[in-house]
Structure 1
Amino acid sequence: MSAIDDLPPLREVIAAHGLSARKSLGQNFLLDLNLTAKIARSAGDLTGADVLEIGPGPGGLTRGLLAEGARRVVAVEKDDRCLPALAEIAAAYPGRLEILSGDALEIDVARDLTPPVKIVANLPYNVGTELLTRWLDPPDWPPFWQTLTLMFQREVAERITAGPGSKAYGRLSVLAAWRSDARIVMDLPPSAFTPPPKVRSAVVHLTPLPEPRFPANAKTLTRTVAAAFNQRRKMLRAALKRLAPDIEDRLIAAGIAPTARAEEVPLEAFCALARELDAH
């Protein structure tokens, strides 16, 4: 019996099902169920929410979410080896766990969820950034989710929450700050995982804003920020010259020095530049 439910400890589950973590799937299993319950609690009150989990693996965080009272968990798992272990959890929590077999990048999960929806996941390293970008840049806003509570490599977590002027500040920082409040709520050492990754991990909690922080067209802003940070060592007049023949004029009109570099430009100025580009 584990510390949070009547199911076996995760080490026994992994051994019984032969679930060695696969590097090709970005897997690092979190075995401490008290820790997974703590991550679940960092997402706030789950009792009235559907929770979307990506990459549950043997189900450590899944069990934490259910033990903390999630109304229902929809778990998307690409690795078929993990499905029997997840089915055992579903049997222990009747009617509260739905398992979707497939790639989270290819499945439309919103249709299987009833609002309010919280997304809580120890994201596989190889798809984490792509999924976050999709959740922050949907066709319609506000999004279908109420909060995001996501585990990343510490370096990625710092990029999501960074402000201008820091080395971590970049495309993810701007995208997250434009439409959400983002903060790091937990740090995890490599020793918490099996196998231990080479880097520290961190949990980021994001709450969507009712409207973007400053007006801008999403596609234009995304394109502008990507171009700026793809050549972050260059002055913006050089990095953005493909966006407009008169880019220096547009930068000046937006209140940005043409000689500035991307990491020096705050969110509000990037939005102003996006509006200038759309206007001309």
Structure 2
Amino acid sequence: MAAIDGLPPLREVIATHELAAKKSLGQNFLLDLNLTARIARVPGDLSGADVLEVGPGPGGLTRGLLAEGARRVLAIEKDARCLPALAEIGAAYPGRLHVLEGDALEIDPLAHLTGPIHVVANLPYNVGTELLIRWLTPAAWPPYWSSLTLMFQREVAERIVAQPGDKHYGRLAVLAQWKCEVRIALTLPPEAFSPPPKVRSAVVHLRPRPEPLYPADPDILSRVVAAGFNQRRKMLRASLKGIAPNIEALLEEAGIAPTDRAERIDIARFAALARLVAAQRAG
């Protein structure tokens, strides 16, 4: 698929603008426009929505989103070298692409977006997890976004969708699945990128639940889960001893054996424990 919009193939764009990917920025440019179009279709119909894209690079996914009908794309790009290539895309789609130069960790995109909003991004590897956690922990829920469609290293994707007992199951799985329906939408081989990464990549789709799966105070649940998985080889009565003075009794009341380890505990029991800890602190 040489082009989807009359613009040059991505390899040509990268060569023209001398856009060798920078490891320091976590860049791996996705070159296959067939794949960018498939990723753009994951959230569903975008014709009535704004899309937030982080780290567009030379614009492969940006082009896919616009070609698939996104009402408007807000692209946040830290690498100034990519701006001329993105400007060419903007010229091909007048009024539908707005580019902000800067760090996505420091920019509030809401002033530039109109709902409904979908986030679709081939995230830079070095900030992907941090951005996901920010999107999952806004001050109020439901969040401003209608869905997240995000590319990660395959191992990170597996951590997001993992179930109890799985070696990948941890804090990220609990946090994501407590608030969202999650699935791996597609897996991508290294050769789809420039430069090819040493690992496979995967696209994860997250759709927010109207309210979290089980009631719990988000801060307390986060602390309980973090303490449990920070020392995942330890029994919970040991790893959680700093959470509450009578942690063994609370564990048992939540249906958790004090000798269990965090990787075996489902979200329902973590939430139950968080509620008990909150009630004890309030009482």
Same fold by TM-score greater than 0.5 = yes
Q: CA RMSD in A?
A: 0.9
Question: Corresponding residue for 1:186?
Answer: 186
| CA distance in 1: counterparts of 2:242 and 2:20, whole angstroms | 47
- In the TM superposition, residue 84 of structure 1 has moved relative to its aligned partner by 0.8
- In the TM superposition, residue 2 of structure 1 has moved relative to its aligned partner by 3.6
Runs ≥4 residues deviating over 3 A: none
Work out whether residues 3 and 34 of structure 1, in 8 Å CA contact, stay in contact via their aligned partners in 2: no
Question: Corresponding residue for 2:252?
Answer: 252
Per-residue deviation, residues 59-114 of structure 1 (Å, max 9, x unmatched): 00000000000000000001111111101111110000000111001100122110
Aligned partner letter, 1:215: P
- In the TM superposition, residue 217 of structure 1 has moved relative to its aligned partner by 0.3
| CA distance in 1: counterparts of 2:267 and 2:55, whole angstroms | 32
Question: Corresponding residue for 1:125?
Answer: 125
Structure 2: 5+ residue runs without aligned partners?
none
- In the TM superposition, residue 10 of structure 1 has moved relative to its aligned partner by 0.7
Question: Corresponding residue for 1:169?
Answer: 169
| CA distance in 2: counterparts of 1:100 and 1:230, whole angstroms | 36
Work out whether residues 43 and 147 of structure 1, in 8 Å CA contact, stay in contact via their aligned partners in 2: yes
| CA distance in 2: counterparts of 1:13 and 1:43, whole angstroms | 27
Aligned partner letter, 2:113: L
Question: Corresponding residue for 1:105?
Answer: 105
53-62 or 2-11, which moves further after superposition? 2-11
Aligned partner letter, 2:74: V
> Where do 1:44-193 residues align within 5 Å?
44-193=44-193
| CA distance in 2: counterparts of 1:147 and 1:100, whole angstroms | 21
| CA distance in 2: counterparts of 1:34 and 1:67, whole angstroms | 11
Corresponding pairs, count: 280
Question: Corresponding residue for 1:216?
Answer: 216
SS of aligned partner of 1:48: coil
Question: Corresponding residue for 1:26?
Answer: 26
| CA distance in 2: counterparts of 1:112 and 1:242, whole angstroms | 43
Per-residue deviation, residues 178-215 of structure 1 (Å, max 9, x unmatched): 01100001010001101000000000111100010000
Question: Corresponding residue for 2:267?
Answer: 267
Per-residue deviation, residues 209-234 of structure 1 (Å, max 9, x unmatched): 00100000000111111111010000
Work out whether residues 252 and 258 of structure 1, in 8 Å CA contact, stay in contact via their aligned partners in 2: yes
Identity of aligned residues (%): 72
Question: Corresponding residue for 2:38?
Answer: 38
- In the TM superposition, residue 3 of structure 1 has moved relative to its aligned partner by 2.6
SS of aligned partner of 1:146: strand
SS of aligned partner of 2:90: helix
Structure 1: 5+ residue runs without aligned partners?
none
Aligned partner letter, 1:24: S
Q: TM-score, normalised by structure 2?
A: 0.98
Q: TM-score, normalised by structure 1?
A: 0.99
Question: Corresponding residue for 1:242?
Answer: 242
Work out whether residues 75 and 98 of structure 1, in 8 Å CA contact, stay in contact via their aligned partners in 2: yes
- In the TM superposition, residue 42 of structure 1 has moved relative to its aligned partner by 1.3
| CA distance in 2: counterparts of 1:111 and 1:168, whole angstroms | 36
